[in-house]
Structure formats: C-alpha cells, structure tokens
Structure 1
Amino acid sequence: MTIGWLDLAAGASGDMLLGALVDAGVPLDVPAEAVAALPVEPVRLVAEQVTRHGLGATRVHVHAPPADTHRTWSDVRALLTGSALPSPVRDGALAVFERLAVAEGRVHRVRPDEVHFHEVGALDALADVVGVVACLEYLELDRLTASPVALGSGSARGAHGVVPIPGPAVLELLAGVPVHAGAVPAEMCTPTGAALLAARVDEWTTLPALRVERVGTGAGGRDPAELPNVVRLVLGDPAGAAPPGPVVLETNVDDLDPRLWPAVLDALFAAGASDAWLTPILMKKGRPAHTLSALCRPDAVPAVQAAVFATTSTIGLRTVAVGKVELDRTHAAVDVLGGRVGVKVATSAGRVVNVSVEHDDVAALAGDRDLPVKEVLRAATAAAAAAHPVGPPPEEPPSDEPPPLWG
C-alpha cells in the first residue's frame, strides 16, 4: 500500500505537480505518451533539473506551437472524448476540466457549457492536466493527501482584466479545502493546479505517519525571494506507522434506574467493547451518579457509542484515546472434580506471570456437583497453578556500583 502527500506551502500549478511526479520516479514517457494521444498539434515535454533556494527540483517544460484558440468546455470535452487516451486517464482529465468549467461558470454567472477557457484551454494547460492524471494513474496510489494550499495575495492581469488574488475560480475550486495566503504577494495557485488538487486529493492533512520511500520536488517557473517555489510529493508506506490505540468512552449519568445497568453493560460488550465498568460519583448539588466507561478498539467506537445512547439516558460522551499494555495470553483447561474448567495463562517474555480460572466454568461445575462455588474455585485455582506454575522473576544484572555506605 502506497500513499502520497503533497507539500503545498508554495501553492500549486500544473507544471509544478507534473515536475514533482516525474522527480518522484514516474518516467517522462508516461505523461509524454498521454499528451501525444490528444488530437491536437504536436506537444513535447522536456524535463530540466533546476534549483530553488538551493533545493534541487525537476521542472517540466511544455513545448507547444503558438495558438490563439479559445476552447469552450464543450470543445475540451469533445477533444478528450475523441482521444486515444486510456479510459482512467481520459475520465480523470474530464473530471478535472468539468470542475474548471463549473467554477468558471459560477464566477462569470454563465452555464458551464458556455464557459470559454482562455489560459486553461491552451495546449500547455491541456498537457499539464493530462500529464498529471497519467502520472497519478501510473503510481496507483491508495490515497493522495495534501497540506493546506498557499494561494498568494495581491492582484494579477488575466484575459478578462485585473483580477484579485486568490483568483475567484481558484476559491470556487477549493471551497471546503484548508487554504492560506502564504508568503508570496502573487499568484501561488493557478486554476489548473487548483482543479487538479480538488479532483485528486483524498484528504487534507499535515504529513501523515508513513515510512518514506521517495520524495519528488517539482519547480515552477518563478523563483521568489520568500520561499522555494516548489511542490514536494512524499511517497511512502503507512504500514510503518503505529496503528491507532484503544479509546475510552465515558459519560456521567444521574437519572437512570440502577436496575438497568447490568443490561447496559451487556449491550456494550455485545457492541464490541473490550471492557466496560461503572464508577460511583457525586455530581453537582450532591446528586449521586455513575460514570459509565467503555474501552474499545477504534473500529468498534461507532457501535459502542450507539449502544450507550440506545440503552442509557445520556446525551453526550467523552472520547479519550489511551495507551494499553497487554500481556500475551493463551487459553487452556484443567480437570477438576470430574469436570473441566477453562484457564487463562498470561506470559511476559515467555515467562508465566498470571494464571486465572474462568469463573463461569467454576460456577457451572459447582452447580453440577452441588458444591459451594468457593470450594470448586479453590480446587480449580490449585489445579491451574500446578499445571502452569508462575516463573521466577528475571535475575537482576550485576551492578558495578559500590554498595551504599548507609541504609
């Protein structure tokens, strides 16, 4: 399983994303062949090694013949649909341009099909989108994550005149995404870059826990003084990350008939709780109450929460992630008074440290033999201790420190 994380502290553009993917190990032939499948004039991709603030990076240049064609969303859709692109790349590129058309339509208050792409309809933008989608399909990532996006500030001149930064289309495309102005008073995220991010990123987060395998750094054309103008792509395996630990759900209840508590605990265990318990407390105004606690795995939290709300009168829960140390355990059985009783054996570093008998088995055997439970328990405990003796504590290593002169 491989996941990717995009560092977007310097924003994003199509060529920066393409450069990061190529720098991370995607062969240049992958985007080049995808671009060549478009029914347009010949377009050539060239990778160049550059530096930004001393940081090595790959910049991918798109060499296309000059053209003043202003394509509509319908034109671009027909172009991609009629191309020889593989289905995943074609459909991925269509999804990116559809987002662009919808965003531009909202900004200019027209229907998406009436949107005229200017900068983003040019050959270099088409090559960026198709190339980035082809590279992502080549990597077959299980998940693509990204940092908040730096958008820039100020103003810029576009096809319609002077526009504020962040651009209106960029803000439309990244609605619901964490963004910030960033350090550079200029455009840091282009509409093409924003559309690619909106269509392909699965989660917006800081660097997730992973074992880093590769890092790709893609450069933009500018080299501002404030920071390196690059996108970094970090690829790694999340298997090296520690799995999430157990969770304790807690709530204070002061208005539940105490006869209901045994059924509540049974319902929590049935929902997947590893343990559940009650703690008597005194609440405000001197009211007696109980704290209900349930320990469960992260995947069991929704079911246990539902069980708490269904079986108690509470209207809220506290959720606390906790650590847990657990001994290795095995199950066995011992013969006692003509019957069998289950035994749990706990070990640490291969040494038996705890032995306990299953009380339900003890009680059932006591009923079968018409004996007091305490007598069967005493016999079963003795048999379990004999069958699984607790090992001696590990020897302390000899100390080189001299003995104290007092004590």
Structure 2
Amino acid sequence: MNHVWIDPSAGVAGDMLLGALLDAGADLAAVRAAVHAVVGDAVSVRTERVTRAGLAATKAHVELHDEDPPHRTWTTIRRMLDHAAVPEPVRRNAVTVFAALATAEGAVHGVPADDVHFHEVGALDSIADVVGVCAALHALGVTSASAGTVALGSGTVRAAHGAIPVPVPAVVALSRGRRVRAGGEGELTTPTGMALVAALATTDEDLPELTVTAWGSGAGTRDVGGRPNVTRVVLGERATRAARPLAHQLEATVDDLDPRLWPGVLARVLAAGALDAWLVPVVGKKGRPAHVLTVLSPPERSDELEELVVATTTTLGVRRTEYTRLVLERGWVEVGVEGHAVPVKVGLLRGVVQQVMPEFEDVARVAADLGWPERRVLAAAHTAAAAAGWTVGGPPPGDLRR
C-alpha cells in the first residue's frame, strides 16, 4: 500500500498540503492539468522554495487571474467537477472534500449544503487547492491516508461578517471525531485544509509503521519565529499483515441451571460446529454461584450456535463479540512407546515448530495397557517425538498427517 501520513501539528491549509505533496515529488504538470480542467485559465499554480523558521519547504502559489471571481455554490462546483476531464479518483476525492466542506458550512450558517454560497467554498483558489491536492495524491499513487493531531490555532480572525473566534466554526464542525489542539496563536488551520484532512485521511494516528519512500514540507504564507509554519507529509509502503480468520465469541452467564447438565451442553455445541467451548464458575448478582459459558464460533455458524445455547440452557440472552485468530498450521505424527502408537499434535508458525503435544486420550489408553502412570507415558512420548526431530523452535523433520 502506498500510504501518506499528514503531519498537521503546525496547522494545515489547502495550499500548504498541496505544497507538501509537490515537495514530496508530485508532478506539477499533472496538478496544473487537473486544475485547468476544472477552472480553465482563471487560476495558475506555481511553486517556490522558501524557508519557514529555518526549515526548507515548498510554497505552492495559487494565483488568480480574475480580479473579482464569483462566489459559487456547492451545486455549481459539483457540476464543474462532474464535467471536468480529470481522472476518476481525482474527481471522486474532490467531490468528497467539497461535500464535507459544504455540509460543515451549511450547518454553521443554517442553510442546506447545496445552497451554501460564500467565498470560503466558492473561491477559485479553494477549488484549485482541493483539486490540486487530489491530483497530487493521484500522481503519487497514494492509496490510503492518515493524519496526526491537527493544530487549529487560537485567538480571532476577521471574516466577511466581522471578527470570529479561532478555530472558526466550520473548522470546528469538520473536526468532529478528530484529534485536535490549539497549537499556537492565529488561524493555523483553514476550513479547506481541515476539509482535506477530514475527508481524505481516514485514520487519526501518530506516524504509522512505514517503509518511507518520500517526504515533503509545504509552507504557509507567514514565516513565524520559533515555529516552522509548514504542513508535512511522509509517504511509504505501509506494513501489511496476512489476513487472519474471524471468530465470534458467544457468552452467556447462567445461575439457575442444574450443574449436571453442563457436560452435555458443552458436548452439543462442539458437535454443532463450535471451534471451542468452555465453562468458568463465577459469583453472580446477589452473591449467587453461576457459570459463564463461552463458545468460540465460526461466523457462519454463530446464529445457529446462539440458538442452541438458548435451547440447552436457561439463559435469557447471548453476548457476541468478533475476534481475529492466529491459527497455527497443525497436524499429527505418531511415535512409539513400548510398541504402542501415540499420536502427537504438532503446531507450526511460518515453518517453525511451536507446539509438540501427545494426545492425552491416547496417552491414557497406552498407560492402561502398559500398567504405567500416565505421566510416564506422556514423558516417553515427548522423548520419542524429540528423538524424531520434532522439537520446539526447529524446522519440521518431515510431513504432518492432517
């Protein structure tokens, strides 16, 4: 997976994120082509190498060629995106970002999202920022994104209706469910920047485990002393793990069942396809002795096993939790103890022996035949398995019987 982690710890604006992605190697020509496809010649994009508090960064300049651009509605912008000749992932992501922004602005101003009609959404520079970022992500081959804690800022900022507190209301609305902090004075995160993070970065997290392939810093307009005014990105291949099988854990707490019935209950759920089942004695409400029945079930059998638990016990309900399982490759080998065959269960993980355990029912049978204590047969079976090369931490010396 080609993943991008966004670091908005000093804030984020649309042009800052665009600059960071261009600094990380996104094709400027591809960004310009996408922006032109949506807004034509009304906007141009250029870059400049700058420093912010001593840190080198790329400043993305979105320059308007219209002195008084119209204030478009979200409906108009969506129509522009629908008819633009841009790659489908670019269109899809841009629509997602603007939908989030329009919804937030509409909630703040008390109007439907489709009727949002003001500078912050409709300005050409915001359209260029959003389309440019989506085009840069596509050019970099990014397939997933996450972000760290977002610095929003503090104080006040002047808008069309006068001074408003920072973070501005739209940024607050877009921050629902995200990790945020003040982070400094002034407006550190704009509505467009927050919409990009909220819509495209599906996970809040610190820098994840990556094999880093590129990184970049995008500069804000101001050079603030003591704090680099930049948004950073880190790109890389995200560590992936093999898919693990799922299981449902079914539980019921029962305090009024005849204890003599429990062995039959366990036997029936196992016969019905449970992966495992066990019983734990507990002290329940009002000090009553009780049992917690736990059944580990394949997902496709959970409904059937829940009904069986209800039918075979006195419970009034069953709890269900989904888990993933690490399942060792397993099989059998046979070893000899005084001429008697004892099956030994072996578990492997990535081709290495992890478990070697004689089957106890067979150990008990051989012990009865030989007149030995069971522990002596168990020890002899372990010794025979080790002599055959089946030792924990080593490679399997042969094939397992499945």
What interval of TM-score do these two structures reach, taking the shorter chain for normalisation? 0.7 to 0.9
Matches within 5 A, 1:91-240: 91-174=92-175, 176-225=176-225, 227-239=227-239
**Aligned match for 2:368, one of 362, 371, 374:** 374
Cα 1:303–1:186 change in 2 (3 A) is: farther
User: Structure 1's 318 and 26: CA in aligned 2 closer, same or farther, altered over 3 A?
Assistant: same
Distance 2:216 2:76 in 1: 33
SS of the residue corresponding to residue 38 of structure 1 reads helix
CA contact (8 A) 1:264 1:311 kept: no
Give 1:15 deviation, angstroms. 0.8
Matches within 5 A, 1:8-407: 8-73=8-73, 74-174=75-175, 176-225=176-225, 227-239=227-239, 253=253, 255=255, 257=257, 258=259, 259-260=261-262, 263-264=265-266, 267=269, 277-280=278-281, 287-290=288-291, 311=309, 313=315, 331-333=332-334, 342-345=343-346, 354-357=356-359, 359=361, 374-375=368-369, 388-390=385-387
CA apart distance, 1:60: 1.3
The letter for the 2-side match of 1:221 is T
Aligned residue in 2 for 1:403: none
Change (3 A) 1:251 1:97: closer
Per the alignment, do residues 22 and 387 of structure 1 end up closer, same or farther by CA in structure 2, a change over 3 Å counting? Answer: same
Listed one character per residue, the Cα deviations across residues 137-191 of structure 1 (whole Å, up to 9, x for unaligned) are 23343431112322212211122332222112222233x2224342222111111
SS at match of 2:153: coil
State the distance in 2 between where 1:127 and 1:20 align. Answer: 15
Q: TM-score, normalised by structure 2?
A: 0.73
Alpha-carbon distance change, 295 to 161 in structure 1, aligned in 2, over 3 angstroms: same
* 1:94 CA displacement: 2.3
Q: Would you say the 8 A contact 2:282–2:289 is kept in 1?
A: yes
> What fraction of aligned residue pairs are identical, expressed as a percent?
41
Read off the aligned partner of 1:56 and give its amino acid letter. A
Aligned counterparts of 1:16 and 1:117: Cα–Cα separation in 2: 22
- The CA distance in 1 between the partners of 2:271 and 2:208, in whole Å, is 32
Question: Which whole-Å CA distance do the structure 1 matches of 2:391 and 2:79 have between them?
Answer: 77
The 1:352/1:92 distance shift into structure 2, 3 A limit, reads: closer
Q: d(CA) in 1 for partners of 2:236 and 2:354? A: 39
Q: Distance in 2 between matches of 1:231 and 1:254?
A: 56
- How far, CA to CA, are the matches of 2:57 and 2:267 in structure 1? 58
Shift of 1:243: 9.7
With over 3 angstroms needed to count, the CA separation of the structure-2 counterparts of 1:218 and 1:252, relative to structure 1, is same
Q: Is the 8 A contact 2:269 2:295 kept in 1?
A: no
* Per-residue deviation, 1:61: 1.4
Superposed displacement of residue 67, structure 1: 2.6
**Aligned residue type for 1:207:** L
Report the more deviating stretch, 301-310 or 225-234: 301-310
CA RMSD, aligned part only? 4.9
TM-score normalised by the chain length of structure 1: 0.72
Letter in 1 for 2:35: V
Alpha carbons of structure 1 residues 153 and 305: separation in structure 2 relative to 1, 3 Å: farther
What letter is aligned with 2:17? Answer: L
Q: Is the 8 A contact 1:220 1:229 kept in 2?
A: yes
Which 10-residue stretch deviates more, 37-46 or 350-359? 350-359
How far, CA to CA, are the matches of 2:4 and 2:371 in structure 1? 57
> Alignment length, in residue pairs?
380
- 1:212 CA displacement: 3.3
* Paired residues of 2:269 and 2:308 also in contact (CA < 8 A): no
Distance 2:182 2:295 in 1: 44
1:82-119 CA deviation, whole Å, 9 max, x = no partner? 32222221232222223222322222223333322314
Match of 1:41, SS state, is helix
Q: Which runs of 5+ in 2 are unaligned?
A: 393-402
Counterpart AA for 1:374: A
